[in-house]
Amino acid sequence: MTIPASSDSKTFRLLSKVVRTGAGALLVAGLAMACSSNTSSMRAASPPAATASAAASTPVTAPSAAATATTGSSATIGTQSEGPTGIGPRAVLAPATVPPVSDECTRVLIHDADGNVQPVACAGGVNVNAWKYYASAGDSSLLALGRGATQAAIYQAMCHDYTDVYKTKAITGTVEEIAQDYYGWTVNASALQHELVNQGCPAS
C-alpha cells in the first residue's frame, strides 16, 4: 500500500518532535544529575567547616587564680591564732605602758595544778591570754616594770609579787619569764628563780 506524501510529511514532523523531545529530556536529566552530584559534594564538605566554625567559636577558658591556688598549695587549718591578736600587733598590754619588743599571739590556755598556765609564749611572741591571766590577779610589779630594768630591780619586783600577789614561787617565776619576753630583759631568769626558791625574799 502506498502512503500519501502528506502522510510522510506528518510522520517526519512527528518523528522530529519526538527526537527533539527526547534530546531535551536527556539534557534535563543530565543537568539534574550534575546538580545532584554538586549538591551532594557540597553537603559532604560542609560538616568539617561547621565543626571548625564551632571549634573557633568555643572560648578557651584558662584556669582561675583561685583554682590554681587551691591545687598548687595545701590549705593550713587551725583553731588558734599565731599572728596578730585582733587588737593590733604589738599592742600595749596593761599594766605595761609600752608595747612589747616581741610580737603577740593568742593561744588557748592550759591550767596547771600549781596555778600556772601555759603556754606563756608561742610562735608569734607573747601569749596575750597568758599575760591577761596573770595581770588579772592583782597589782603585779613585774608586769609593770618596763624595759631596761636591772637584775636587782627585777628581783625586788619578784619578791613583791610573790608576797602580795601570787603567793607561790612557781607562779612568780612564770610571771618573770613572760615579763622578760615582753620587755626584752637580758638578765638570767633561771638565776633569779633559783635565788627566790632557795634564799627567799627579805622581810619587808
In a domain, residue 54? The reply is: no
For the segment 77-84, the average pLDDT, to the nearest whole number, is 41
Render pLDDT for 87-143 as a digit per residue (tens, 0 to 9): 446 899 999 999 999 889 999 999 999 999 999 998 868 999 999 999 999 999 999
Domain count, the chain: 2
Res. 176: pLDDT tops 50 = yes
Q: How confident is residue 38, by pLDDT bands cut at 50, 70 and 90?
A: very low
Which residues, 6 or more positions from 127, have their beta carbon under 8 angstroms from its beta carbon?
A: 104, 105, 106, 107, 109, 119, 120, 121, 178
116 and 195 co-located in one domain: yes
28 and 109 co-located in one domain: no
In a domain, residue 36? The reply is: yes
Highest mean pLDDT of the ranges 16-25, 60-69, 142-151: 142-151
Q: How confident is residue 179, by pLDDT bands cut at 50, 70 and 90?
A: very high
In a domain, residue 171? The reply is: yes
Residue with the larger pLDDT of the pair 116 and 35: 116
In a domain, residue 53? The reply is: no
- For residues 38 and 130, give the distance between their C-alpha atoms in angstroms, rounded to a whole number: 90
In 3D, which of 108, 112, 111, 135 has the Cα closest to residue 122? 108
Asked if 122 and 82 touch (Cβ cutoff 8 Å), the reply is: yes
For the segment 68-96, the average pLDDT, to the nearest whole number, is 52
**Phi-psi domain of 14 (left: phi exceeds 0; alpha: psi -120 through 50; beta: other):** alpha
User: What local confidence, expressed as pLDDT, does residue 126 receive?
Assistant: 94
For the segment 189-198, the average pLDDT, to the nearest whole number, is 89
User: What local confidence, expressed as pLDDT, does residue 122 receive?
Assistant: 86
User: What local confidence, expressed as pLDDT, does residue 204 receive?
Assistant: 59
In a domain, residue 187? The reply is: yes
In a domain, residue 15? The reply is: yes
For the segment 70-83, the average pLDDT, to the nearest whole number, is 36
Full-prediction pTM beyond 0.85? Answer: no
36 and 118 co-located in one domain: no
In a domain, residue 175? The reply is: yes
User: What local confidence, expressed as pLDDT, does residue 90 receive?
Assistant: 84
Q: How confident is residue 10, by pLDDT bands cut at 50, 70 and 90?
A: low
What range does the domain containing 34 cover?
A: 1-43
Q: Which segments of the chain does DSSP mark as H helices, in order?
A: 5-57, 65-72, 128-135, 151-161, 169-183, 189-199
If DSSP codes are grouped into helix, strand and coil, which group holds residue 111? strand
- For residues 98 and 145, give the distance between their C-alpha atoms in angstroms, rounded to a whole number: 10
In a domain, residue 67? The reply is: no
Asked if 176 and 189 touch (Cβ cutoff 8 Å), the reply is: yes
